[in-house]
A and B are shown apart, each in its own frame.
Chain A
Amino acid sequence: MRCRSCNIDLGEEYVRCPLCGEKASPDEPVLSGLRTAEYPDIKYRKNPKSAFLIYVIIYAILCSAAIVADLIINRRVSDSLWAVFLLPCVWAILFRPLFIHKLYIGSYIMQDAIYISVFMLWCAKSYMRDFSYAIYSGVPMICTISAVLIFVGIFLFPEKRVTALSYFIALFVIGLITLIISLACGYNCVLPAACTVSSNLFITVLAMLEPNEVRGELIARFRA
């Protein structure tokens, strides 16, 4: 086949010229012996739309319903505001794992720890006037629990062991910050200290289990 307008050869399969759209002429190609290298049919893929917006809309509807019901029944909104914050936590802890595929359990625990910590900070600010309660008890407690869970995880999933290192470091930093604030403000330091010490201990254990891997991971992650 040939396109007479473009003066070019086309493969046997062509009905039209891919450049100008003219009908292909059944002339003998000038370059002989070439075969078309076929492509598969192009499967056009739209960008996978994030379900995030749908979740946000459902969440907004549920929140509005709770606030309206609260207003009508109790003539105040404080209880429903609880629901507004509780819903994402329930979703994060109970339902999110159902949608997560092939994600390392540690990152799931870590993300939940962050959700819950933010929730606790909000509760403390709203109901106890300041963040202190969350800083010296809630946040370090949840971080300690997470560190323990991830530590158990490194024995259950030894192939993903080194991934836990960055989580322990993050938990150690959070623990250290809460410890410094607690010391400075004269709060109870037991839980912040527990968080700092436990995550530090787990880093040490991990470094003993996989010395080369931990060293390599540290160098690679923090190389400037």
Chain B
Amino acid sequence: MEITEEKTSAQNGVENDYVLPRRFPLDNAATIYPAARTNTYACTYRICFIMKEDVDPDILRQAAKDIIPRFPTFFAQLRAGLFWYYFEQTSDNDIVVEEPYYPCYRLKLLDSDKPAFRIIYYKRRLGVEVFHALGDGSSSINMLKTLVARYLTLKGENIPDDGSFPSLDDKPTEDEHADMFQRVYEKRLGKPEKETSSYQYKAKTIPNYFQAVHGIVPVSDIKAVSKPMGITLTEFLVANLLYAIYLNDPENRKEIKVSVPINLRPIFGVESLRNFSLFTNVGFVPKDGETTFDDIVASIKGKIKENAQRENMKKAVSRNVGSARNPLLRFTPNVIKRPLLKACYHLAGQSKFMCSLTNLGICEMPQEMLDHIDRMEVLLGGAPKETLACAVTCLNDMLNISFTGTTKEVSIQKNFFRLLSSNGIRVRVESSNKESWEDK
């Protein structure tokens, strides 16, 4: 899967400018998403800002139009080739919609001239819902920041370019749009260790249902608790989540594992506007008798950092790219490959963790933008059979911990936030399910 040299005649600029081919291959991490999608679920996630004022849809539409040339890989739709899926840049880029049905509502793929993402707004909420094959959270945040900056500029605000997001004055570069996994790949690296399967949370799921529970927590409150334990904020949240899962089913003795995505950009020192992250699973085995929070902390302490070391990540990338380069797989027609990949994903990927916890870190932007934004939310569509997923972001020194899932069950979320508040952490909870707004 090498990048083609095919160039569009429509995009002409200075000779040295990088022009993305109109049709381009999926990156290595993206190949799994078209295979894993189902009828009701399309591997979609949402990143949004809660503005201080209601969103103006007309200005937003204009802003969306203005960012198209800067993010060519996003304005693309999935197409099926004989052996692999690929992306084709789209002609109909009118994708601003008032929030439809429910969060992460299935995006139309393949048979559409619209891109595989949408821009949503509802009252103060402004965000994007993206098919994961287009790009990972970091790249979508960058696009969203540029979109919001443009939106605010069109509203008459003066937003300086401080380098914290891609500027519309800059041209797209080859590095931003290349498949970075191919560059990191090295032949004949040792294989990563085999993984054990994880305990799975069984709750009644409802097709086409999606619920988000947000916890808003001051960063200082969490750091005040995690620092004395000698663990990072992410480790604290992972331990807290593992403990919440454990408390939900204390009889279970199977290893409970949480999948934590690792952003490879800082590790390999690159900027990419496509997928460039990998997962690592961390967990603990509940012992006979009571497992305490400290036991869990002891078993995961330093694990994420250790797994995320450059050499380990290189091994994992090389394994993934290596298997995609296997001639047997390459020349298997897509119709056969898709169910194969789907089965592999369930057996080798999804069974190894119960829930994912993404920490997208601190979202940096100029103060002039922050003045117009209340907070930030990330909702993970999760894997097809994953009933619960969790994403964390930080804006204005406030953490937003969002649990999402296709079930109405909230017992793990309840345990999680009760554990936080029992540690003296201030928590505010909001839910997308408005049933608790009315008396029964």
Interface residues of A (CB under 8 A from B): 3, 6-11, 13-21, 24, 29-31, 34-47, 159, 212-213, 215-217, 219-224
One of B7, B216, B377 near A34 (C-beta < 8 A) = B216
CB-based contact B86/A46 at 8 Å: no
Query: Which residues from chain A contact B21 at a C-beta distance below 8 Å?
Result: 216
Measured between C-beta atoms, what is the minimum distance from B412 to chain A in Å?
10
B268 interface contact, C-beta 8 A: no
B440 interface contact, C-beta 8 A: yes
Measured between C-beta atoms, what is the minimum distance from A105 to chain B in Å?
14
Measured between C-beta atoms, what is the minimum distance from B235 to chain A in Å?
23
Query: Which residues from chain B contact A212 at a C-beta distance below 8 Å?
Result: 6-9
CA distance A223 to B215 in the complex (A): 45
CA distance A159 to B433 in the complex (A): 43
CB-based contact B86/A223 at 8 Å: yes
Measured between C-beta atoms, what is the minimum distance from A28 to chain B in Å?
12
Known: A19-B414, A24-B436, A44-B209. 18 other contacts (CB 8 A): A7-B422, A11-B430, A18-B410, A21-B436, A31-B218, A31-B427, A37-B374, A38-B123, A39-B103, A43-B102, A213-B22, A219-B23, A220-B23, A220-B24, A220-B81, A221-B86, A222-B81, A222-B82
One of B88, B422, B428, B432 near A42 (C-beta < 8 A) = B432
CB-based contact A217/B23 at 8 Å: yes
Measured between C-beta atoms, what is the minimum distance from B227 to chain A in Å?
21
CB-based contact B91/A159 at 8 Å: yes
Going nearest first, the 5 A-B pairs with the smallest beta carbon separation are: A18-B431, A9-B428, A220-B23, A19-B414, A7-B421
CA distance A6 to B418 in the complex (A): 5
Closest residue of B by beta carbon distance from A9: B428
CA distance A42 to B122 in the complex (A): 12
One of A19, A29, A35, A43 near B410 (C-beta < 8 A) = A19
What does the 1/0 interface line of B241-281 toward A look like (CB < 8 Å)?
Answer: 00000000000000000000000000000000000000000
Query: Which residues from chain A contact B429 at a C-beta distance below 8 Å?
Result: 3, 6, 8-10, 17-19
Q: Which of A159, A221, A222, A224 has the most CB of B within 10 A?
A: A224
CA distance A16 to B414 in the complex (A): 14
What does the 1/0 interface line of B333-377 toward A look like (CB < 8 Å)?
Answer: 000000000000000000000000000000000000000001101
CB-based contact B208/A41 at 8 Å: no
Query: Which residues from chain A contact B9 at a C-beta distance below 8 Å?
Result: 212
CB-based contact B418/A31 at 8 Å: no
Interface residues of B (CB under 8 A from A): 1, 4, 6-9, 21-25, 39-40, 50, 79, 81-84, 86, 88, 91, 98-99, 101-103, 122-125, 207-210, 212-216, 218, 330-331, 374-375, 377, 410, 413-414, 417-418, 421-422, 426-440
Query: Which residues from chain B contact A222 at a C-beta distance below 8 Å?
Result: 81-83
Measured between C-beta atoms, what is the minimum distance from A62 to chain B in Å?
29
Closest residue of A by beta carbon distance from B88: A220
CB-based contact B426/A31 at 8 Å: yes
CA distance A24 to B438 in the complex (A): 11
Given A34-B428, A37-B377, A46-B208, verify A6-B414 contact (CB < 8 Å): yes
Closest residue of A by beta carbon distance from B5: A219
Q: Which of A35, A39, A217 has the most CB of B within 10 A?
A: A39
CB-based contact A42/B101 at 8 Å: yes
CA distance A169 to B32 in the complex (A): 28
CA distance A7 to B425 in the complex (A): 10
Given A45-B208, A216-B22, verify A8-B417 contact (CB < 8 Å): yes
Given A9-B427, A19-B213, A35-B374, verify A42-B437 contact (CB < 8 Å): no
Measured between C-beta atoms, what is the minimum distance from B438 to chain A in Å?
6
Measured between C-beta atoms, what is the minimum distance from A64 to chain B in Å?
31
CB-based contact B6/A219 at 8 Å: yes
CB-based contact B427/A8 at 8 Å: yes
CA distance A6 to B244 in the complex (A): 14
Measured between C-beta atoms, what is the minimum distance from A162 to chain B in Å?
10
